[in-house]
Structure 1
């Protein structure tokens, strides 16, 4: 029999719920079940269906992190399922196809439209092309059967293109060796070619395979900043069939900007200018930078410290663009430093006095005093600063910022993307026994969870994470309220000492622009980043979130894994998958990113080569899989019954059995 405890877990009821509330909910859930399954036969049918589903193998989870606007590389990884497609092709056709043919078949599944167009150029006759179509369709159907094995027929049907559902199911589920049906099957195949439906059928089947090879996608933070096309990544994520997102620090400043945080907005503009990506702001999101550009041109000159960083192949769109970006970069940076002084004064509980630096400058000598030591300043651009009141915005600066905020608030595309990020996003997620968290859990040197105290309340561990998420949601829901606590918290999450999304003592942005001594550039990391190598610490963290410390894993992004360093730590309890999607990091990481797969047999870490281009993938068969490393291999295959969804289904099964027993 199902008890109240089972119901509370199924309905996610808190410990504060009373017994009377529990009884009411239990009664209500039974009422709903009776309405949905009014007859004994309906109950029996659903019971049989659910118990069969529970015995299926667990679906494959795919983990990615720190995408940083690198759309083409991310799109390729999504299409190939971090090599899962090619591995299944190898398992299916390894003894019957050459490695070259397997790679060509894999590329057809990744990029079906482009690969078909490329292949059609190389056939001497229509008969040769027709034979290629038939061979490919038969192989596609065989591989589709492999990809569909973990799922019910109804779930596979939902993944099929509606235009080909009937034909695909007939070809998929009919025994091709059955002599009575062989002529029927052959006619279906031949008509797909004769009626010129082969291209569309192959394309539809390829996308169905992509969808079935990965059951669920986890994005462990930082979709935005540095790369040139975060908006394309967001469009791609919004089309994906099953997804969750853990917010990263770079995502938070975009959420902050549309929530009314001036400082978040200025940080976004500064980073876009720094990486030559202001087109994201203007072209992708339609945010008007005309007033900002005019103001910057009137007040700032060329400055080597603020010239945009260029990667190999980068160019400017017009003469004078580099100077324009350099001027904008200085303008937004100086407004940012001024407003940081405002929030530091407004929120003493943030304890961020060390980041208020404009009043530490000797403007005549062009020096600054930090921690008792005086440093000369270089590349200064202090034209809009009043030394007597260095944090005061000029009237023009206030007007520019307000215009920018209005433009951000009116961007429908940005609102659409960030609404989705809020809907699918969280500060952390507990999923199938694992803890998914972008950054860290702030701790002291001994591994004790640090406590923050805001508004006369203290928060530690999981409660700290829940508090921060609550503030993000409050700020996002009320963008019209200026300088409120929740909106200020968004900036704290970007660079506060005890922010789980930052994980450092200070963000030394000012020092990197203006002080040559690199010792001042150092950003001291939270002890978490040393302790995450320790098994006991990782087990403690898993326990804090109610997870099994022996079976669970912590999956992190945020910090690129440098050359020669391990992505797998603490005997496999900790896995860091920020390996360098961003081209800006690839010189440090030496690879093109890590991803993680978790199928019914266990966890596999996948390292990728840097992505070249879609054209090379199609024409030359280039893939970006480098190496796979098994983290754990389950002797007993995990089933749906072993997952979080499986637990919910088992609770439903218990209710159905109660109904049968009545």
Structure 2
């Protein structure tokens, strides 16, 4: 961890900086008061962080994971009321916290809700909130409360176990008045929100909000309201970001993905991007007599033409072997790869010009221009993608953990693979930094190079967000499934070795003794005994298959990695039924818990990156105090 104030790590600030700092802390008293406050904060417990990945548009399951805080609410209820409430009563209380509005309606209709029930339930919620608030400053807890009730909730929370009878009567009178005035429902909703807010201090989403499921838009709406979150871009995110930035190639890939995943309603219903013109073009141009629909045929040909143009603009990518559309022979229904012909699922290629196979026809060009215009006119998509840029990044280094969605491209010998982009050979962290910069340039400038780069990040051979050779053409057209195999980057085999993981952590400036690499992207086959924790705990892969299509593959329905003061644990979630089942049957998502790392002492804020920032602030404030006491700076005493 960083050194304490007074060391060489904290050089004395210059006079100009101290003058600026004195505007906020104009007297020695205000400066040392803040030092006392910051020193106290350093000793608070480290905030609980949750890590999830690959939610892939599965909104109901994701919403429930947020509402039950990955099972943490259930744990806290059990710890607080294990000697007072039965299992069913605990489950009822949990469901009330998860979905207070809907649960209250059901309880009222069943006749459960009485004045006595309100009073008892409010006190239970207060006790639970009090238990959770112990990890935070009183100021932070109050900021998390609904402002209209902040004073009352603050009074209820800050009672001590040994308080006197008069104080207890005071609190009971508050509860009675809440019930008498008809405010109990509002207070229950407010306390439930506060409890969920306190249970998780920060959320990390390690990539892939989009595709497969139909409701990535609802997930992003929810994340935009979440109190503290960051995202690391996944390949399925970056292709949507590229489309929103103006890449026709990325947009064609997005449309094809949504056709394949049967989730077109997100484009048309959520973002208002009509596919009518594309559908009319497809019906007028392609046949309906084989394995592919006209709509899928039309967008696939457009995609592979645009990909061919993109690859041709970047010979340094060395992706010429992906130029397979030019090898199609419609008369024989085959395409040639190397020295072998492969049978196609369709021979219907009416817009393919053998003399110029990657040229769009006038109709194809018109369709794509109008689709791009529709994307530019979608304010909701612009807001969601803007959020991904504002709160996201290609990677994150946090508390000595390195978070990225897929991989760091590597050679078989364990060295970082250099990639040539615009005449620069880039590898490791430098490559990731370049990827992040160019992705942001695409959003702000929409120049051809950066837009092409967005497509490369989606599926390029050495994309750090993909990590495998993508076989989109083969999976679209070839009947021979042996051609569908997508070789993975050596990273995935090499990182079973703890030494390789330590080298990656060092590359990103993290402590290799204590840090972790946290990835998503590759589903963990838990049903086959595969573990998400690898390389002696240095690597944690948290793609457990939120998407329903992966449940049979993984045997579970997602992971949450939890970092708390005691260390790290991972929760494997079982498949989610429905919110109706939660409300009517208390059928919560059940999770298997595995604590794989236990700290020798509970971690505090002093042990975190936030602690390092606070210690630097303390060093600056001590320098300001010295300047006041020595007379170097006059105090700004009010006159």
Q: What range describes the TM-score normalised by the shorter chain of this pair?
A: over 0.9
Counterpart of 2:158 (choices 157, 173, 183) is 173
**Matches of 2:200 and 2:17, distance apart in 1:** 32
**Matches of 1:30 and 1:99, distance apart in 2:** 58
SS at match of 1:6: coil
Match of 1:315 in 2: none
Counterpart of 1:238 (choices 224, 248, 269) is 224
- The alignment status of 1:83 with 2:71, answered yes or no, reads yes
Q: 1:175 touches 1:181 (CA, 8 Å); kept in 2?
A: no
Show the 5 A alignment for 1:485-564: 485-504=449-468, 506-562=469-525, 563-564=527-528
Match of 1:349 in 2: 316
**Matches of 2:352 and 2:478, distance apart in 1:** 18
Match of 2:267 in 1: 281
Q: 1:379 touches 1:513 (CA, 8 Å); kept in 2?
A: no
Match of 1:331 in 2: 298
**Matches of 2:436 and 2:8, distance apart in 1:** 29
Match of 1:57 in 2: 45
Q: CA deviation at 1:453?
A: 1.6
Comparing 229-238 with 273-282, greater Cα deviation is found at: 273-282
Q: 1:253 touches 1:490 (CA, 8 Å); kept in 2?
A: yes
Q: 2:71 touches 2:591 (CA, 8 Å); kept in 1?
A: no
Q: 2:115 touches 2:179 (CA, 8 Å); kept in 1?
A: yes
**Matches of 1:198 and 1:358, distance apart in 2:** 65
Residue-by-residue CA offset, 1:142-189 (whole Å, 9 max, x unaligned): 000111011001100011011211111121124574222333222211
Match of 1:459 in 2: 426
Comparing 353-362 with 594-603, greater Cα deviation is found at: 353-362
Q: 1:2 touches 1:658 (CA, 8 Å); kept in 2?
A: no
SS at match of 2:114: helix
Comparing 357-366 with 282-291, greater Cα deviation is found at: 357-366
**Matches of 1:167 and 1:304, distance apart in 2:** 68
Q: 2:206 touches 2:520 (CA, 8 Å); kept in 1?
A: yes
**Matches of 2:414 and 2:290, distance apart in 1:** 42
How many residues get paired? 620
**Matches of 2:387 and 2:490, distance apart in 1:** 33
Residue-by-residue CA offset, 1:576-598 (whole Å, 9 max, x unaligned): 11111111211211111111110
**Matches of 1:621 and 1:28, distance apart in 2:** 60
Q: 1:452 touches 1:458 (CA, 8 Å); kept in 2?
A: yes
- The alignment status of 1:70 with 2:58, answered yes or no, reads yes
**Matches of 1:434 and 1:551, distance apart in 2:** 8
Comparing 67-76 with 376-385, greater Cα deviation is found at: 376-385
- The alignment status of 1:387 with 2:354, answered yes or no, reads yes
- The alignment status of 1:33 with 2:43, answered yes or no, reads no
Residue-by-residue CA offset, 1:586-641 (whole Å, 9 max, x unaligned): 12111111111100111110011111111101111111122010120112111001
The structure-2 alpha-carbon separation of the partners of 1:354 and 1:544, relative to structure 1 and needing over 3 Å to count, comes to same
The structure-2 alpha-carbon separation of the partners of 1:297 and 1:644, relative to structure 1 and needing over 3 Å to count, comes to same
Comparing 91-100 with 259-268, greater Cα deviation is found at: 91-100
The structure-2 alpha-carbon separation of the partners of 1:55 and 1:391, relative to structure 1 and needing over 3 Å to count, comes to same
**Matches of 1:587 and 1:490, distance apart in 2:** 32
- The alignment status of 1:143 with 2:131, answered yes or no, reads no
The structure-2 alpha-carbon separation of the partners of 1:144 and 1:527, relative to structure 1 and needing over 3 Å to count, comes to same
Show the 5 A alignment for 1:393-404: 393-404=360-371
Q: 2:42 touches 2:611 (CA, 8 Å); kept in 1?
A: yes
Match of 1:605 in 2: 570
- The alignment status of 1:424 with 2:400, answered yes or no, reads no
What is the TM-score with the length of structure 2 in the denominator?
0.95
Comparing 114-123 with 138-147, greater Cα deviation is found at: 114-123
Match of 1:637 in 2: 602
Match of 1:317 in 2: none
Residue-by-residue CA offset, 1:240-280 (whole Å, 9 max, x unaligned): 11111100000000110011111100010001111111111
Q: CA deviation at 1:2?
A: 5.0
**Matches of 1:209 and 1:134, distance apart in 2:** 18
Q: 2:333 touches 2:346 (CA, 8 Å); kept in 1?
A: no
Q: 1:602 touches 1:634 (CA, 8 Å); kept in 2?
A: yes
Q: 2:73 touches 2:199 (CA, 8 Å); kept in 1?
A: yes
SS at match of 2:350: coil
Match of 1:477 in 2: 444
What is the TM-score with the length of structure 1 in the denominator?
0.91
Residue-by-residue CA offset, 1:521-542 (whole Å, 9 max, x unaligned): 1100011111121111111100
Match of 1:18 in 2: none
Q: 1:344 touches 1:353 (CA, 8 Å); kept in 2?
A: yes
- The alignment status of 1:620 with 2:605, answered yes or no, reads no
**Matches of 1:372 and 1:5, distance apart in 2:** 62
- The alignment status of 1:122 with 2:86, answered yes or no, reads no
SS at match of 2:351: coil
**Structure 2: runs of 5 or more not aligned:** 628-639
**Matches of 1:610 and 1:638, distance apart in 2:** 32
Q: CA deviation at 1:304?
A: 5.7
Show the 5 A alignment for 1:437-456: 437-456=404-423
**Matches of 2:174 and 2:576, distance apart in 1:** 39
- The alignment status of 1:595 with 2:560, answered yes or no, reads yes
